[in-house]
Each structure stands twice: as C-alpha cells, then as structure tokens.
Amino acid sequence: MSDVVVRHADGWAATVLHALATEYPSAAGHLALGPDDTDVRPAWLHPAFWGCLDWHSSAHMQWSAVTLLASGHLSRPTADALVDVLNERLTTPNIEVEVDYLRAHPGFERPYGWGWAALLASSVCRVAEAPGPLSDPAAGWATALRPLADVIVEHTLAWLPKQAYPVRSGVHDNTAFGLGLLFDAASAFGRHDVASAIGARARDWFGRDRDYPASWEPSGSDFLSAALCEADLMRRVLPTVEFAPWLTGFLPGLASDGDNLLTIPEVLDRTDGKIVHLVGLALSRAAMLRPLAPFVDADAAARIAAAAAAQVDSALPEIDAGDFMATHWLVSFALLAEGA
C-alpha cells in the first residue's frame, strides 16, 4: 500500500463511515414500475447500499472500507467501526432485497454500479480467504454477496451481445470503465467465461481505434477520461505483444510534453455535484495513467509518474475535507489512484 494511503487511511475511513451514514441527500435513480412503486426512502429501497448519495457510491465506498481494512493501516477503533457497518449492511436478508431489485430492474446501474458491486464481492472473497482477524466477518459478507455477484454476471452476459456500440462518455455510463471493473471481478472469481466475453466485446468495439483526439478532453462534468478508460480496458484484455502497438496507434502522443491527459483539471465550484466530478477526473487519470507507464519510453514514463502524483495531490484536500458532493465518493478513486 502506498505512503499516501498509509498517511490518510484513518481519515479516509472516517469519511467512508460518515458518507455511509448520511441517508440524505439521496439520488435514488429509481424507475417506478407502477403507482405503488414510488417509495424511494434510501434505507428501505436499498438496505445494503444506501447512504453516499446513490447506490453505486454506497457500493464502492463499501469496497473502500474493505480495502482500507485489508491494508492493515487503520487504528483499532476505526477498523472496528468499519467492520460494524459492513456487518449491518452485507447480510443475506439485505442482499436478497438488492438481488430482487436488480432482477426487476435489469438496466439499473449498468455497467458502472454493476462493476463496483462485483468488485466489492470479489474483494470480500479475497479477504475472507486470507488468514487474519478479518477472515471470519468477511466470510459472512462473501456468503451474503454471492447471489448479488451471480445476478450481475447473468445481466452482463445477457447485455453484452445486445450492446451494438460502446458509450464513450466521461461519466457513469462509460462502457470501458464499467467493463474494466467487471473484468477484474470476474477474473478474481474464476469466471473466465465472463472475462472472455468482455475481452471479445472490447476487441470488437475498440480494437481498430486509432488517433484518439485527447486534446478534446475533458468535458465539463467528466470524472473519467474516455481515452484512458479505453486504454485501461484494452491493457487488461490484450496480451502485451498486441497491446503495446495498439496503444501507440490509439494514443500516439501519450505522455509527450504537453499531453492534455497529464494536466490537472480546473475546478471552479467544488460544491456543485457535476463540476466537482473534475476532482475525481484527476484521480481516475492517475489510476489509469500509472499502469500505462511500462508501455512508453523512459522520458514519457517519468512524465506520467510526475503527473500522476500531481493529480493525486491536487485532489487530496477534497477527499475528506470537501463538500459532501465530493466526500461521498472520492475515497474510492483515491484508492484506485494509489494502486489498491
């Protein structure tokens, strides 16, 4: 675990606890299926994934809780508090409600929330299998979460053949980012059929892409780089011998002097939920640039290292001391940026 995570672990964990306990404001994203289906009280509608403004943020902040616990760098009271929250949320009855909801709303949180929930489930399994004080509680969380992972796998396999084109936005519905999370989770679960299906679709959608106009990024509410999400997915699914030339063709100016993807986004209102996305963009750029460094020359790799560190530094004040529109989700992207 990086020095940044070690220094901030307790503060970030406190932010996770506060965000998960904050039931309102709430953005339910609920599609009502009839006149009696309009109750959107967060803890009633989603007993496992409430708080943190929305379902996907609650899922990935619980992934953050598991990741911080597994790091071993938390004080005992903070670690105990995270375990208590996960014990309350990740129960079989609560997950049964979530599974029923996903079956009734098969497009809900596709693919972003699917990816985070699946990654949470796979991370919990890894912790449960490791010796240590977390193995027993994590085993219970893993048992509860398995049906949720199963329904997400079913939805993913049903959806991929029907999705004619990828979504190349810089927000939640970006196809490449969600599939990257799903690929990691499926690989961890040994679901090679799912990983293979994702890889085949990625090749279909992105394999012939060339000369991406990186200078056009970012858009005004991006927290993802469409360019880097695509590159990060292809890094996962292509062998090195294929990925290296693909990356050169797709981003021929990657990490050159003045590359727009290395710049820190300008954020003019850190209380606006859309504008503050750009703080998250700094973190997601760092997270996706760092694994690309081995595929560029030494000078470019040095520029990536410096830029990624600067991107993270620029976001640090907002992660646990910013407005709730930032603190309800940024811990997760900080952990990704630091290699979690």
pLDDT (0 to 100) of residue 135: 96
88 falls within a domain: yes
Q: How many domains does the chain have?
A: 1
Task: Give the domain CATH number at 10.
Answer: 1.50.10
196 falls within a domain: yes
pLDDT (0 to 100) of residue 31: 96
Amino acid making up residue 293: A
Question: What is the spatial distance between Cα 288 and Cα 283, in angstroms, rounded to a whole number?
Answer: 9
pLDDT (0 to 100) of residue 76: 97
32 falls within a domain: no
Question: What is the spatial distance between Cα 2 and Cα 4, in angstroms, rounded to a whole number?
Answer: 5
Question: What is the spatial distance between Cα 89 and Cα 100, in angstroms, rounded to a whole number?
Answer: 16
pTM comes to: 0.98
| 114: nearest Cα among 38, 64, 205, 183 | 183
327 falls within a domain: yes
- Burial (Cβ within 10 Å: 0-12, 13-18, ≥19) of residue 29: middle
Compute the C-alpha angle 168/174/178, nearest 5°. Answer: 140
Identify the domain containing residue 191 by its residue range: 3-27+40-337
H helices within 41-159, ranges in order? 42-45, 55-71, 76-89, 92-104, 112-129, 135-159
pLDDT (0 to 100) of residue 1: 75
Whose tokens are 């997760």? That residue is: 332
- Quick one: angle between helices 330-337 and 55-71, nearest 10? 50
Neighbours of 133 (CB within 10 A): 11
Both structure tokens of 285: 């750029």
CB within 8 Å of 55: residues ≥ 6 apart: 28, 29, 46, 49, 108, 109, 113
pLDDT (0 to 100) of residue 117: 98
Stretches where the chain sits below pLDDT 70 are none
